[in-house]
């Protein structure tokens, strides 16, 4: 299959949808991003790669970072994190607080905000937020093969300035003793991991280990175990798009994780990692055109984890 041609066809398919959806405006720095951009990159396990559109423009990966911090926590500390966070789809928006009270401060899964905040707290352990952010940044640089991956300080500050909702989630979990470090320390790391800026090309490379049983095919490093990799992909498939996760699995058919910056990282086990970016979002906070593009790519390739 010619990957350049595949992406050109997908880009043609989705061009009419580029004006649909709304950018995330609850983080003011994200509301300022020109909304009609579209980029897509694919990295295949056989070494083929291709990109189209704005695939070299860095964007805020936001919640896509949650997949990488989960991988880092599992790698460093094994399955203990599952004592503090579940792995069921929430069926609620990304920043919902309703289930936390019923479920005694244990978030449903690590890809909703509450769950990701717990994962970041676990990752911090006895370190400082700065050290943890340095580690996450270094991990993203290593996985993407790009030294210029960094945190966009303006986006991180903008989210912190308007972060009452995430502070509420964190304080609520602290009240149930499910946060070990002070709320502001954990959120300072969480806001910065969300503000990491990558291009589609870098993000597709960074996701390759998830398509390859946990082994980075570029460096040959076993980043996480094959079992951990399967579990992360399972959680992405069932929980990667909040209350739109079922629809994404139905339409696209392989694991993905959205971010409110308009990026999606998708993983086709044993085939490829795909990053797509277009800032306008659907009601679940997933890129409108990005999810359309992945649906078209799945239709054109026949790739699916469902056979
Ligand atoms: N940083 C965002 C928040 O916590 C992440 C949400 C997302 O990307 O889905 O609100």
- Over residues 159-185, mean pLDDT: 97
Q: Which of the listed residues 26, 59, 63, 92 should we mutate to test ligand 1's pocket, taking the one with most ligand atoms within 8 A of CB?
A: 63
At residue 144, φ and ψ (nearest 5 deg) are -85, -15
Could you give the C-alpha distances from 220 to 142, 146, 176, 213, in angstroms and in order? Answer: 12, 16, 41, 11
User: Do 129 and 91 fall into the same domain?
Assistant: yes
Final residue belonging to a domain, choices 152, 173, 194: 194
- DSSP category for residue 211: H
* Distance in Å, CA 62 to ligand 1 centroid: 5
Q: Which of the listed residues 157, 189, 260 should we mutate to test ligand 1's pocket, taking the one with most ligand atoms within 8 A of CB?
A: 260
Which ligand 1 atom lies nearest to the CA of residue 27?
10
Final residue belonging to a domain, choices 152, 170, 194: 194
The whole-number pLDDT of residue 223 equals 98
220 is a domain residue: yes
- Active-site annotation holder among 260, 267, 268, 276: 260
79 is a domain residue: yes
User: Do 188 and 203 fall into the same domain?
Assistant: no
For residues 282 and 56, what is the distance between their CA atoms, to the nearest angstrom?
A: 23
For residues 278 and 286, what is the distance between their CA atoms, to the nearest angstrom?
A: 10
For residues 99 and 218, what is the distance between their CA atoms, to the nearest angstrom?
A: 41
The whole-number pLDDT of residue 49 equals 97
Which ligand 1 atom lies nearest to the CA of residue 285?
9
Residues 131-170 have pLDDT tens digits of 999 999 999 999 999 999 999 999 999 999 999 999 999 9
For residues 303 and 10, what is the distance between their CA atoms, to the nearest angstrom?
A: 14
Range in 42-46, 93-97, 175-179, 277-281 the model is least confident about: 93-97
For the full predicted model, state whether its pTM sits above 0.85: yes
Cβ–Cβ under 8 Å, residues 23 and 287: no
307 is a domain residue: no
User: Do 82 and 189 fall into the same domain?
Assistant: yes
146 is a domain residue: yes
Residue with tokens 């086990």: 269
User: Do 230 and 253 fall into the same domain?
Assistant: yes
Which ligand 1 atom lies nearest to the CA of residue 62?
8
* Distance in Å, CA 149 to ligand 1 centroid: 19
306 is a domain residue: no
Instruction: Reply yes or no on whether 26 is catalytic.
Output: no
User: Do 55 and 204 fall into the same domain?
Assistant: yes
210 is a domain residue: yes
User: Do 76 and 173 fall into the same domain?
Assistant: yes
User: Do 179 and 95 fall into the same domain?
Assistant: yes
Q: What is the pairing mode between strands 263-268 and 256-258?
A: antiparallel
Q: Is 38 helix (H, G, I), strand (E, B) or coil?
A: coil
Where is pLDDT greater, at 255 or 96? 255
DSSP-assigned letters across all residues of 56-117: TS-EE-GGGHHHHHHHHHHHHHGGGGGGT---S---S-TT--HHHHHTTT--S-TTSHHHHH
Instruction: Reply yes or no on whether 119 is catalytic.
Output: no
**C-alpha dihedral, 38 to 159 to 204 to 278, nearest 10°:** -10
Q: Which of the listed residues 64, 159, 161, 257 should we mutate to test ligand 1's pocket, taking the one with most ligand atoms within 8 A of CB?
A: 159
140 is a domain residue: yes
Above 90 in pLDDT, residue 1?
no
Final residue belonging to a domain, choices 163, 194, 225: 194
User: Do 225 and 176 fall into the same domain?
Assistant: no
Which one, of 133, 239, 138, 146, lies nearest residue 195 by Cα?
133
* Distance in Å, CA 220 to ligand 1 centroid: 31
User: Do 179 and 207 fall into the same domain?
Assistant: no
User: Do 15 and 90 fall into the same domain?
Assistant: no
**Per-residue burial over 1-10, b = 16 or more CB atoms within 10 Å of its CB, e = otherwise:** eebeebbeeb
- Over residues 6-21, mean pLDDT: 97
* Distance in Å, CA 24 to ligand 1 centroid: 9
Instruction: Reply yes or no on whether 66 is catalytic.
Output: yes
- Over residues 232-257, mean pLDDT: 98
Nearest CA to ligand 1 atom 4: 113
| Structural domains of the chain, count | 2
> Which amino acids bring their CB within 6 angstroms of ligand 1?
62-63, 94-95, 113, 159, 166, 194, 258-260, 285
**C-alpha dihedral, 152 to 156 to 161 to 162, nearest 10°:** 110
For residues 261 and 132, what is the distance between their CA atoms, to the nearest angstrom?
A: 22
Which one, of 202, 70, 193, 73, lies nearest residue 142 by Cα?
202
Which ligand 1 atom lies nearest to the CA of residue 260?
8
For residues 259 and 49, what is the distance between their CA atoms, to the nearest angstrom?
A: 23
* Distance in Å, CA 4 to ligand 1 centroid: 31
Above 90 in pLDDT, residue 52?
yes
* Distance in Å, CA 162 to ligand 1 centroid: 12
User: Do 237 and 285 fall into the same domain?
Assistant: yes
- Percentage of the chain exceeding pLDDT 90: 97
CATH number at residue 291: 3.40.710.10
User: Do 78 and 42 fall into the same domain?
Assistant: no
17 is a domain residue: yes
**Can you give the residue range of the structural domain that contains 243?**
3-59+199-301
- Percentage of the chain exceeding pLDDT 70: 100
């Amino acid at each position: 299959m010619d990957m350049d041609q595949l992406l050109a066809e997908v880009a043609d398919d989705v061009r009419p949808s580029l004006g649909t959806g709304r950018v995330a405006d609850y983080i003011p720095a994200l509301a300022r991003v020109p909304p009609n951009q579209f980029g897509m990159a694919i990295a295949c396990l056989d070494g083929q790669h291709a990109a189209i559109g704005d695939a070299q423009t860095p964007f805020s990966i936001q919640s896509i970072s949650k997949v990488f911090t989960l991988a880092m926590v599992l790698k460093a500390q094994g399955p203990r994190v599952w004592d503090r966070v579940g792995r069921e789809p929430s069926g609620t928006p990304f920043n919902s607080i309703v289930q936390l009270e019923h479920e005694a401060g244990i978030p449903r899964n690590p890809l909703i905000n509450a769950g990701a905040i717990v994962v970041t707290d676990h990752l911090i352990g006895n370190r400082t937020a700065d050290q943890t952010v340095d580690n996450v940044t270094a991990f993203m640089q290593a996985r993407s093969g790009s030294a210029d991956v960094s945190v966009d300080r303006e986006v991180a500050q903008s989210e912190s300035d308007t972060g009452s909702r995430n502070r509420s989630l964190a304080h609520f979990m602290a009240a149930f003793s499910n946060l070990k470090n002070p709320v502001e320390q954990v959120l300072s790391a969480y806001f910065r991991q969300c503000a990491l800026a990558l291009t589609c090309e870098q993000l597709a490379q960074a996701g390759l280990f998830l398509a390859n049983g946990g082994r980075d095919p570029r460096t040959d490093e076993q980043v996480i175990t094959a079992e951990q990799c399967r579990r992360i992909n399972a959680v992405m498939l069932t929980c990667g798009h909040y209350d739109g996760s079922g629809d994404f699995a139905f339409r696209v058919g392989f694991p993905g994780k959205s971010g409110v910056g308009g990026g999606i990282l998708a993983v086709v086990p044993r085939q490829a990692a795909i990053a797509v970016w277009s800032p306008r979002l659907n009601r679940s906070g997933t890129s409108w055109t990005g999810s359309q593009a992945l649906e078209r790519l799945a239709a054109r390739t026949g790739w699916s984890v469902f056979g």
